[in-house]
Structure 1
Amino acid sequence: MSGGAHRAPSRFGRRQAIAGIAALAVVPTAAVVAGQVRTRTLPAEATTGPSHAPSAAASGPGKGSKPSGAAVVGKGGGPVPYRGGKTMLGAYLDLEGMSAAQAIALRRRQTGRDPRILHTFYAWQDTLPRSLPWLPDDSYPMISWRGTDHASILSGRFDDLIARNAKQLKRLGRPVLLRWGWEMNGDWYRWGGPQNSNNPANYVRSWKHLRKIFADQKADNVSWVWSPNWNDKPDAAWNAKPKYYPGDDQVDWVGVSGYNLHRELPGQLFQGIYDLYGAKKPIMITETGSVDRGGRTKADWTTALATWVEQHPAVGAVVWFDTDTHYNYHEKWRVDTDPESLAAFVAMAKDPHFSA
């Protein structure tokens, strides 16, 4: 997502950018309470969408109310494995006034479990972590590592930095998800194609350059997550997602960022990437969340997301953007902005499908 920057430094790392900020209304934070698990009976809007027709860029192939029926991947994920028929549920978790341990403990009390994936953000010239003392034993870290311009990477200027960070992640001594240079098909990041002479091929070369250095350092505990935005900006043939795909031998998970900003259904956000890659790679929804438009709107969208994921077996992970600290941004993405929204998230967390 684009526009704005997450406050930095954060104890969980840095998130830079959320799309459509100016268009959204301010929503106050409600009390934090644990809700009850409810059955998935959805209102008409949650399954059929808004009354107005979405744009072609927003809708993509398929609206996600039924399974696609196409063949899907049965294995993969690298050191962080995909488990067929199950989905890991994780979060970028950064809550106002709470330490990492306190935020994790709150979610554990509310949901009865730890996040299976805990997401962090780092700048390009940061030193990546060699230890994460706040990380629960049964959780995988996912590190979103910012990039820089392609020419600088391909020149070898940053080879020492890349090698040093490969060694850092190797020293973690546990499987880790690395999401380098995400949302490269958007125009809001320095490593995106639109800011690099409209040349996705050099993004692919940069990706392969990093992977080779990591391989040379024997950082074989790293699962590589390639993660475009759900729609392309600009919407042009040269900027289409497949132009940035480094190849099946270079990618362990195919990720995607997609938020319910303008009444998009889960299928509108995620069916396109699923249709492109779900037959050969496990799919991870690496960033998601929903605007709250009052009433049950956020709760119903969360329930619709859980239903869509269950209908799409190649989706091996969902990572919520669970925070109320996004810099200069009033929409609270945390899961417990009201009792109904929390109840819907708790229902997803307790669903056996999300027990991977």
Structure 2
Amino acid sequence: MRRRSLLGLGAGALAAVPLAGCETYRSNDAVPPVVSHPAPSASGASAAASPVTKGGGAVPFQPGQVMLGAYVDLKGRSASAGIDLRRRQLGRAERIVHRYFSWTDQLPVSLGYVSGRSTLMISWRGPEYKDINGGASDRLIARAAKRMAQRKRPTLMRWAWDMNRDFYKWGGPANNRDTEGYIQAFRRIHRIFGEEGADNVAWVWSPNWNSRPGEDWNHFKHYYPGDEYVDWAGISGFAQTQSPGDMFDEFYATYAARKPIMISEVSVVDRGGSSKPEWIAALQEWIKAHPAVGASVWFDTDTHPSSRENWRIDSTAASLAAYKAMSNDPVFTG
């Protein structure tokens, strides 16, 4: 399946805007300093209480350990070859192997390149909410659930990610601002998976840090399905000039006391010089300062449709060295 259909991007999508939702960058722009923000103050109105010490459902959260994984899609290499290259470069398997599937795809019972040390995360795109909430998709959902049950391995399910953005058909902006419709759809899929015995699935709810349009009705909090339906609270973000704290502090403060946190899709625009390796190091330190974070998944690709950006961890030798330093940190080696 073509990657364009997997990610749901139209042919006219701008290079960086669909990912980061920010202004287009130029490589000769001045490089701003990258400073990771401290955790929100405990006395602040939006500060989180003490972070969770358990949770994650079928893929349990391990306090003090961060599962470091990636979506790997490298030009000129198969998925298997790309993942094997990363295993050799990092000296270990990805803890999370992230793949995208369309709504009508047959979800995988097994994938040969997902090792016994890795957990598969499926990003499963959605249709319009009415196609789920009216019952028309129940059989399709049940078939998918049965296949997941046949996997018999813990699997992360990230359904209809970035729903608070305006470029996906499963987003609130494309569904008449019906954030409740998203919640109903998420809960219906969750219920059917339970009825089909897919209790090996851990549910990742995953908005983007930057809502578009940036109006209150479209804030990520209005899409939350409820604690009963979410195992991991995920957040995606593609940085241009933002620090990790700029993107993730608010989300952490909102959900860290309730659910383990996953940085479910992350990368950074390379603005030249040492900007990208410095940002990777800042991400490493931000995660270590936020103990409810139990997983981080890099968007490790140079094949994104309509994008000239190289999101790979080895886009430069310095970037790879920074990422390897994070991978070798004891917090990330679990």
TM-score > 0.5, shorter chain as reference? yes
With normalisation by structure 2, the TM-score equals 0.90
SS in 2 for 1:184: coil
- Distance in 2 between residues matched to 1:171 and 1:339, nearest whole Å: 41
Count of paired positions: 316
SS in 2 for 1:14: helix
Matching residue of 2:265: 287
Rate the CA distance shift 1:302–1:205 in 2: closer, same or farther, 3 A: same
Are 1:298 and 2:279 an aligned pair? no
- Distance in 2 between residues matched to 1:346 and 1:275, nearest whole Å: 28
Matching residue of 1:223: 202
Matching residue of 1:255: 234
In terms of mean alpha carbon deviation, does 279-288 or 98-107 score higher?
A: 98-107
CA RMSD of aligned residues (A): 1.9
- Identical positions, percent: 47
Are 1:354 and 2:327 an aligned pair? no
- The Cα shift of 1:25 comes to 4.0
- The Cα shift of 1:9 comes to 2.9
Once the two structures are superposed, the pairs formed by residues 131-170 of structure 1 within 5 Å of their partners are 131-170=110-149
Are 1:324 and 2:302 an aligned pair? yes
- Distance in 1 between residues matched to 2:229 and 2:208, nearest whole Å: 19
Q: Which runs of 5+ in 1 are unaligned?
A: 1-7, 28-42, 48-62
**What amino acid does structure 2 have at the position aligned with 1:46?**
V
1, 15, 27: which one aligns with 2:7? 15
**What amino acid does structure 2 have at the position aligned with 1:328?**
S
Are 1:94 and 2:73 an aligned pair? yes
Are 1:307 and 2:289 an aligned pair? no
- Distance in 1 between residues matched to 2:151 and 2:7, nearest whole Å: 22
- Distance in 2 between residues matched to 1:145 and 1:287, nearest whole Å: 14
SS in 1 for 2:265: strand
Matching residue of 1:116: 95
- Distance in 1 between residues matched to 2:219 and 2:86, nearest whole Å: 37
Matching residue of 2:14: none
In 1, are the aligned partners of 2:124 and 2:159 still within 8 Å (CA)?
yes
With normalisation by structure 1, the TM-score equals 0.85
In 2, are the aligned partners of 1:107 and 1:114 still within 8 Å (CA)?
yes
Deviations 1:67-111 (A, max 9, x none): 755410110000001001111100000111112222122111211
147, 150, 161: which one aligns with 1:171? 150
- Distance in 1 between residues matched to 2:175 and 2:270, nearest whole Å: 35
In 1, are the aligned partners of 2:40 and 2:249 still within 8 Å (CA)?
no
64, 82, 90: which one aligns with 2:37? 64
Matching residue of 1:106: 85
In 2, are the aligned partners of 1:21 and 1:329 still within 8 Å (CA)?
no
- The Cα shift of 1:16 comes to 3.5
Are 1:333 and 2:333 an aligned pair? no
Deviations 1:135-185 (A, max 9, x none): 111100000000111111111111110000001111111000000011111
Deviations 1:178-224 (A, max 9, x none): 00011111111111111111110111001111011101101000000
Q: Which runs of 5+ in 2 are unaligned?
A: 10-17, 43-48
Once the two structures are superposed, the pairs formed by residues 45-60 of structure 1 within 5 Å of their partners are 45-47=33-35
Are 1:78 and 2:57 an aligned pair? yes
In terms of mean alpha carbon deviation, does 14-23 or 281-290 score higher?
A: 14-23
Rate the CA distance shift 1:178–1:293 in 2: closer, same or farther, 3 A: same
In 2, are the aligned partners of 1:67 and 1:311 still within 8 Å (CA)?
no
- Distance in 2 between residues matched to 1:294 and 1:268, nearest whole Å: 20
**What amino acid does structure 1 have at the position aligned with 2:33?**
E
